[in-house]
């Protein structure tokens, strides 16, 4: 039986201004399981940060409750909460002259005595956190003199040193390049497994989340939150709730978001990945209709159309344009 450190029951969340209530999310039910990385996805403004605030005990629900280790989160003191919940927020203020080691040591604050002095156990926890995030070599570097990806890993190391059972990260990969985004998400997934932590990551990176997350929570305006295995949500088509309108869809075959070509009239034969590339190029160049079969083959790549051979997609598109298509 899986253990859930965080449970939400019948939550309705929102904000109160003067005496009027603005309800943002209704009827939320969820469990954040230990040893799993869950990604929270949804369009801008749907209420992801609002839900995170409720999970962190910073926003009182209109109705329902959040349980942390089986106890209402509202019954935890700030100190007790800091021992259970580690948070990595977007763009925190970090003094540039602080070293990575000092930042990670800050994660131990909830555990130190009033003197603030780090014990042997605290120092060990800091070293372990640096090691788990593979940044021991950065310990003495200043935050102002390392890359964004390295700084993000340092923030994760600080959260790890805090040693809460639950880690909540709000867009930890924002502003990072593709490789760093993959690396951070893989790292978080690895930590969830090796340290049996319940990790919640707010992200807009659908494709990387699909590769790395154990569970998805999908928020969409006006519909109930969807919780499930990413793979099941792809198979059921529920993943498409993240792709509003009909311009895009999620392709099961290719495991990625694709343009929907319903308005395009092409008859193309060949390997699906090559067909997709040719369709993309035709669509971008404004060609919507070709009346004969387009045959695409690889090794060597060529396109045959009305008995004419084209050796690249560019050559084909130019050829079609010159025919006035």
Q: Give buried/exposed letters for 255-270 (b at 16+ CB in 10 A, else e).
A: eebeeeeeeeebebeb
Smallest distance from the beta carbon of 47 to ligand ATP, in angstroms? 4
- Tokens read off for 273: 């990945």
Contact characters 4-23, ligand ATP, x per CB under 6 A? -----------x------x-
Q: Which stretch binds ligand ATP (CB under 6 A): 48-56, 105-113, 159-167, 270-278?
A: 48-56
- Tokens read off for 13: 């969340």
- For residues 26 and 50, which CB has a smaller minimum distance to ligand ATP in the complex? 50
Q: Is 295 near ligand ATP (CB under 6 A)?
A: no
Q: Is 41 near ligand ATP (CB under 6 A)?
A: no
- For residues 44 and 299, which CB has a smaller minimum distance to ligand ATP in the complex? 44
In a 10 Å sphere around its CB, with 0-12 CB exposed, 13-18 middle and 19+ buried, how is residue 35 labelled?
middle
CB 72 within 8 A of CB 81: no
Separation in Å, CA 42 to CA 37, 46, 269: 17, 6, 35
Q: Is 220 near ligand ATP (CB under 6 A)?
A: no
Q: Which stretch binds ligand ATP (CB under 6 A): 44-52, 81-89, 180-188, 293-301?
A: 44-52
Smallest distance from the beta carbon of 89 to ligand ATP, in angstroms? 11
Question: Could you say which residues in the range 50-89 bind ligand ATP, by CB under 6 A?
Answer: 50
Is residue 107 reached through a cis peptide bond, with omega within 30 degrees of 0 on the bond before it? Answer: no
Distance of CA 20 to the CA centre of its chain: 33
List of residues 6+ apart from 80 with CB closer than 8 A: none
Q: Which position among 8, 47, 110, 172 is part of the footprint of ligand ATP (CB under 6 A)?
A: 47
Q: Is 103 near ligand ATP (CB under 6 A)?
A: no
Q: Which residues are paired to 88 by β-bridges?
A: 169
Q: Which position among 44, 78, 113, 299 is part of the footprint of ligand ATP (CB under 6 A)?
A: 44
């Amino acid at each position: 039986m899986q253990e859930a450190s965080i449970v939400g029951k019948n939550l309705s969340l929102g904000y109160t201004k003067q005496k009027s209530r603005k309800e943002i999310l209704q009827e939320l039910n969820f469990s954040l399981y230990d040893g799993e990385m869950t990604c929270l996805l949804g369009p801008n403004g749907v209420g992801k940060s609002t839900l995170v605030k409720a999970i962190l005990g910073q926003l009182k629900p209109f109705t329902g409750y959040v349980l942390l280790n089986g106890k209402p989160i509202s019954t935890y003191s700030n100190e007790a909460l800091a021992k259970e919940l580690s948070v990595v927020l977007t763009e925190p203020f970090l003094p540039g002259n602080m070293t990575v080691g000092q930042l990670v040591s800050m994660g131990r604050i909830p555990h130190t005595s009033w003197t603030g002095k780090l014990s042997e156990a605290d120092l060990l926890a800091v070293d372990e956190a640096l090691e788990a995030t593979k940044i021991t070599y950065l310990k003495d570097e200043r935050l102002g003199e390392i890359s964004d990806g390295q700084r993000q890993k340092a923030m994760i190391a600080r959260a790890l040193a805090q040693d809460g059972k639950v880690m909540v990260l709000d867009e930890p990969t924002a502003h990072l390049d593709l490789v760093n985004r993959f690396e951070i998400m893989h790292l978080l997934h690895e930590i969830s497994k090796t340290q049996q932590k319940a990790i919640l990551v707010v992200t807009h990176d659908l494709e990387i989340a699909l590769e790395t997350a154990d569970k998805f929570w999908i928020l969409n305006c006006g519909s109930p939150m969807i919780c499930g295995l990413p793979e099941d949500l792809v198979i059921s088509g529920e993943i498409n709730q993240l792709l509003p309108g009909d311009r895009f869809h999620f392709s099961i075959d290719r495991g990625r978001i694709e343009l929907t070509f319903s308005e395009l009239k092409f008859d193309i034969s060949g390997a699906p990945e090559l067909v997709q590339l040719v369709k993309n190029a035709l669509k971008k160049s404004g060609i919507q209709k070709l009346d004969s079969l387009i045959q695409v083959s690889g090794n060597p790549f060529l396109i045959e159309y009305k008995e004419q051979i084209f050796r690249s997609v560019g050559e084909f598109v130019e050829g079609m344009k010159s025919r006035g298509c």
